Amino acid sequence: MADVMTESEADVAVVGGGPAGLHAALVLARGGLSVVLLDESDTLGGQYYKRRAEQLTAAFGDFRPRGTELIRQVRDSGVDCRTGTLVWGAEDGGRTLFTSDVRTGALGRINTRATLVATGAYERSLPFPGWTLPGVVTPGFALHLATMDRVPVGQRVVLAGTGPFLLPVACALLEVGARIEALVELNHPYRPGISSIGGALRQPARLAEAARYLLTLARHGVRVEQGSRVLAAHGDTQVTAVDIGHEDGGVWQLETDALCVGFGFRPSTELPRLLGCDTELDPTGTEQLPVVDADGATSVDGLYVAGDCAGIAGVHAAGVRGQLAAHAILRRLAPERARVRVADLRRRRARALDRFAELADRLYPLPTTADIPDATQVCRCEGVSAGEIREAAATGWNDLHGTKAATRAGMGPCQGRECGHIVAALAGRGEGTAECFAARMPIRPLPMAATIEGQEVQ
Amino acid sequence: MTQPDVVVIGAGILGASAAFHLAERGYRVVVLERGAPNREGSGTTAGNLHIQAIHTRRPGQEVPVDSARLLPLQRRASDHWSQIEERLGADVELRRGGGFMVAETADQEEELREKHEWERRAGIPTEVLTGDEARKQLPLLSDRVRAASWCSLDGYANPLLITPAYLAAARRLGVEVHAFTPVTGIQQVGDDYKVLSGDRSWTAPVVVNVAGPWITEISALAGIQIRMSPVAIQMHVTVRVPPVMHHLVQHIGEGMSVKQVSAGNLLIGGGWPAAALDMAGRSTVSVPSMAGNLAQAGRILPFLGELRLLRMWAGPLAATPDEMPVIGEVPGHPGFFVAGGTYAFTLAPVWGDTLARQIAGEAPADPVDDLGPGRLLHDDATTPVSP
Amino acid sequence: MSTNSLPQTVTVTIDGTPGQAWAGQSVTAALVSAGIWPLRRNPVNGQLRGPFCGMGVCLECEVTINGRPGSRSCTAHVTDGMDIRTHTEPLQTAAHG
């Protein structure tokens, strides 16, 4: 192995350079530990503090300057920042990480004394007829194009799904000149009832933010349809029309250049699950989350998890949770430099933010998977339909893993990241536990050249 | 059906095959499976059909396989597999594209020639090719290949399809399959065995223990101590690519098997040891084994270096202490049969047929007395199976 | 937000046809701007596919960039003279047809 992998050492590895990872790395480095910060992307910042390319920043300005400042502080603090570095595997409770250079495929092994996983989240998609057509994308994709690249995903756009995230995406699209044909929200979050007011009082800032976005949409005359969902997307080589259904039974069709559909976020938990940490159901009942204490320590000694991969709670909670985990690691590895009282204050804040995440789950509940038509593809990679999955589950022989084996659902290049929660729901054996596909190495498809050629050189 | 003729314990490929062959003969069969069928070794194996003699050691394997001994059984297996899709009425992605077993050194080439002589005697058609002759047939082979033995009968079947196909055919013949039904006790009741799963039970004169790595545990429930040496081995699969080769490629000196499956993925294995066998959950893969297996496969088939590794996994292999298969009735325990051990995938149709014949009191198509479980009994002074 | 001037325009070649894009843009942005949505075919059913997640998870947006197949267009950035190839031609017949 030594011949194919470049070895390195650090006190702590932080996997993921988003808000949680950045805040954690800063605390750890300032605490005197050697820190390596790893991110698959070619820039730090993660999804929230993502970086506009230099050439575009010169023309369009800095995107989220707070992120720029945070990244500068992290670099100045002596953190070994390795972007373009995929962590594709791990063992020994996370004290050994296997990496691959995204550009060259070169392999590396990092040995640490503790590891913090801050791999964030990605968007939750739910299948419907036509969702694999080109032009059907996640809202995050449209946001990325609008904010980073200043490109509208289409001249005419339909936004759909559920969750507060649809609002800033809509506003970003308007800013780059797209026309939003409709914002189709599954739930009724924008007529707050009694149940949401208590939460709203706790987090007035978040609701004020939503109100600002809604005002912008109203000013642009954007049609906001609540209690509605996408029934199907149509098109030959790309999407051209969308069927929308209202819960009262009404159905109408919109012509569009692009359809963005998302149902909130899913935590990226592959690494902690690969390392065998205990998991539990998240509040939506659809995800297995690493079990963590208030500092982000998992059941695996020396392995910590912070940010959205420990449960969706947004950027502010992510930063705080990253710092809390870093303080916990400091207490462990450099007790003389740990600042315990600060951590206590921050722990209270993290709890408050977690409560807001629970509120979001109440306002934006997920739809059932029961009405996904049999003919609809669930696994995009392997082209497996809901009917095939149901049929495999109906034999009574198959649990989730057996269903995967029987249908190939989840065996494609995305490793079941897009379809795993759906297959689990369709194949569930109904004991109140959402299973999930086993996390397997490599976490992303890994070029084999380095392994093979490395050995040749020997 | 609480009083079947036979209770089969384990719904891997051997249990499924045994149930099918027994049902074909009119036996009433119940199959009990602790989890989902085909989940363990049978569903995680490579699916190779080894008709030419196999390499004798997995990486790290201490006792070599007596591969010459197995050849008549492989010859028999080849005939079974040729008819299997028709017999089961199912597509199991059976491919008989033939296989190369390559040699890189003079010693290895000598082994190929020795093995070719065994194969000739067993009636298995093979020929030893020079490196250039082999490369002419499969230009993807590297210059490192000095010689290769070629067997047109080698191939593979999809391990995710064959066991379900056996089970489906067995069910059509009246077999009951109970998944998620772990066996918790086996009691002797007169001449019968009462097999318990919690508060459910089945009573039958014959029990077939084909529980793979759990053969020892299941036997112990009946008071029988059978020694097994289960290990976990690992597999590697690339992303799908357009068709590039339809052969099975193996190595005479090292554990290695490479093939492209119907879906287009390249499957790379060879019995490299996983990091750990976890009988209670998921065995963990070994990165050094990954690196070793891929490097070796890439040395023989350099085009693999252009591909991406999609996934790897570890699965149990129900090996025996002497690395030879085990099949037959347990001495002193009439009606209690065991089958398992190495190369169970290739041999599954033979083992199903053999068990059915033994249970019917007939002689097996090929003698297997030397492979009986007596040698693995704890209280027995075992004699080595190899001549 | 400062808005000095438009970014530097560079030449990229998409499936042999030269075009303009902003240096530093994601390759998917250049493709979407050029109106090119289908990027590849699903190897199982031959369906056309385009970018979906935009963050490197779904792998639907893979194209060949400067001769390197399997490049995720959503995480790659445009450089001058970049050669981008999509793969929307009909599939070969199934393995071992």
Instruction: Give the strand pairing for B248-251 and B99-103.
Output: parallel
Q: Do the chains contact at A456 and B298, CB–CB below 8 Å?
A: yes
**Is the pLDDT assigned to residue C93 strictly greater than 90?**
no
**Is the pLDDT assigned to residue A203 strictly greater than 60?**
no
3-state secondary structure A337-380: HCCHHHHHHHHHHHHHHHHHHHHHHHHCCCCCCCCCCCCCEEEC
**Is the pLDDT assigned to residue A176 strictly greater than 60?**
yes
H/E stretch holding C84: strand C82-85
pLDDT of B123 reads 96
CA-to-CA separations, A74 to A21, B258, B262, B324, in angstroms, rounded = 10, 46, 49, 59
- Averaged pLDDT for residues B111-127: 95
Q: CA B223, CA B319: separation in Å to the nearest integer? A: 21
Structure tokens belonging to residue A279: 């998991």
Residue of C nearest to B263 (CA): C95
Ranking A390-399, B235-244, B337-346 by mean pLDDT, the lowest is A390-399
Identify the band that residue A207 occupies on the pLDDT scale cut at 50, 70 and 90: low
Give the best residue of C4, C12, C20, C22 to mutate against chain A (max A CB count within 10 A): C22
Alpha-carbon torsion (A144, A145, A147, A148), positive or negative: positive
Domain with residues A377-427, CATH architecture: Orthogonal Bundle (1.10)
Contacts of A454 in chain B (CB under 8 A): 291, 295
CATH of A5-122+266-361, one of 3.50.50.60, 3.40.50.1110, 1.20.200.10, 3.40.50.410: 3.50.50.60
- Averaged pLDDT for residues B29-39: 94
Domain A125-263: assigned CATH number: 3.50.50.60
Q: Do the chains contact at C25 and A418, CB–CB below 8 Å?
A: no
Q: In what order do the strands lie in the sheet with B336-340?
A: B176-178, B29-32, B6-9, B206-209, B336-340, B326-329
Phi, psi of B37 (to 5 degrees): -60, 150
pLDDT of A342 reads 64
- Averaged pLDDT for residues A410-432: 86
- Averaged pLDDT for residues C19-44: 96
Same fold, A5-122+266-361 and A125-263: yes
pLDDT of A194 reads 38
Q: CA A204, CA A218: separation in Å to the nearest integer? A: 21
Structure tokens belonging to residue B190: 């007169």
Domains of chain C: 9-85 (3.10.20.440)
pLDDT of A370 reads 87
- Averaged pLDDT for residues A381-403: 91
A106 to chain B, any CB pair closer than 8 A? The answer is: no
- Please list the alpha-helical segments (H only) found in chain B: 13-24, 41-44, 67-88, 106-122, 131-137, 159-172, 215-221, 287-300, 344-359
pLDDT digits (tens, 9 = 90+) for A343-376: 776 776 677 667 666 667 778 888 888 889 999 9
pLDDT digits (tens, 9 = 90+) for A273-293: 999 999 998 877 788 999 999
Look at phi and psi of residue C16 and say left if phi exceeds 0, alpha if psi is from -120 to 50, else beta.
left
Q: Do the chains contact at B264 and C70, CB–CB below 8 Å?
A: no
**Is the pLDDT assigned to residue A457 strictly greater than 60?**
no
Enter the DSSP assignment of A63. Answer: S
Identify the band that residue C94 occupies on the pLDDT scale cut at 50, 70 and 90: very low
Q: CA A217, CA A230: separation in Å to the nearest integer? A: 20
Is residue B219 a contact partner of residue B330, using CB atoms and an 8 Å limit? yes
Contacts of B140 in chain A (CB under 8 A): none
pLDDT of A356 reads 65
Identify the band that residue C6 occupies on the pLDDT scale cut at 50, 70 and 90: confident
Segments making up each domain of chain B, as ranges:
1-94+155-228+319-387, 99-151+231-317
To the nearest whole percent, how much of chain B has pLDDT over 90? 89
**More confident of the two residues A212 and B92:** B92
Enter the DSSP assignment of A50. Answer: P
Residue of C nearest to A415 (CA): C58
pLDDT of A184 reads 97
To the nearest whole percent, how much of chain A has pLDDT over 90? 72
Identify the band that residue B386 occupies on the pLDDT scale cut at 50, 70 and 90: very low
**Domain covering B99-151+231-317, topology:** D-Amino Acid Oxidase; Chain A, domain 2 (3.30.9)
The complex's ipTM works out to: 0.93
Q: Has domain B1-94+155-228+319-387 been given CATH number 3.50.50.60?
A: yes
pLDDT digits (tens, 9 = 90+) for B152-189: 999 999 999 999 999 999 999 999 999 999 999 999 99
- Averaged pLDDT for residues C17-30: 96
Same fold, B1-94+155-228+319-387 and B99-151+231-317: no
Give Cβ neighbours of residue C1 (< 8 Å, ≥ 6 apart): A60, A61, A62
Is residue A37 a contact partner of residue A80, using CB atoms and an 8 Å limit? yes
**Is the pLDDT assigned to residue B139 strictly greater than 50?**
yes
**Is the pLDDT assigned to residue A399 strictly greater than 90?**
no
Average pLDDT over chain B reads 94
A452 to chain B, any CB pair closer than 8 A? The answer is: yes
Instruction: Name the range with the highest mean pLDDT among A215-219, B88-92, B278-282.
Output: B88-92
Residue of C nearest to B97 (CA): C96
Contacts of B275 in chain A (CB under 8 A): 91
Structure tokens belonging to residue A442: 């490599």
The residue type of A438 is A
**Is the pLDDT assigned to residue B382 strictly greater than 80?**
no
pLDDT digits (tens, 9 = 90+) for A187-196: 998 864 333 4
3-state secondary structure B236-276: EEEEECCCCCCCEEEECCCCCEEEECCCCEEEEECCCECCE
A304 to chain B, any CB pair closer than 8 A? The answer is: no
Segments making up each domain of chain A, as ranges:
5-122+266-361, 125-263, 377-427
For residue B92, the distance in angstroms to the closest alpha carbon of chain C comes to 14
Average pLDDT over chain A reads 89
Q: CA A70, CA A445: separation in Å to the nearest integer? A: 31
pLDDT of A3 reads 64
Look at phi and psi of residue B381 and say left if phi exceeds 0, alpha if psi is from -120 to 50, else beta.
beta
Look at phi and psi of residue A239 and say left if phi exceeds 0, alpha if psi is from -120 to 50, else beta.
beta
Q: CA A157, CA A241: separation in Å to the nearest integer? A: 10
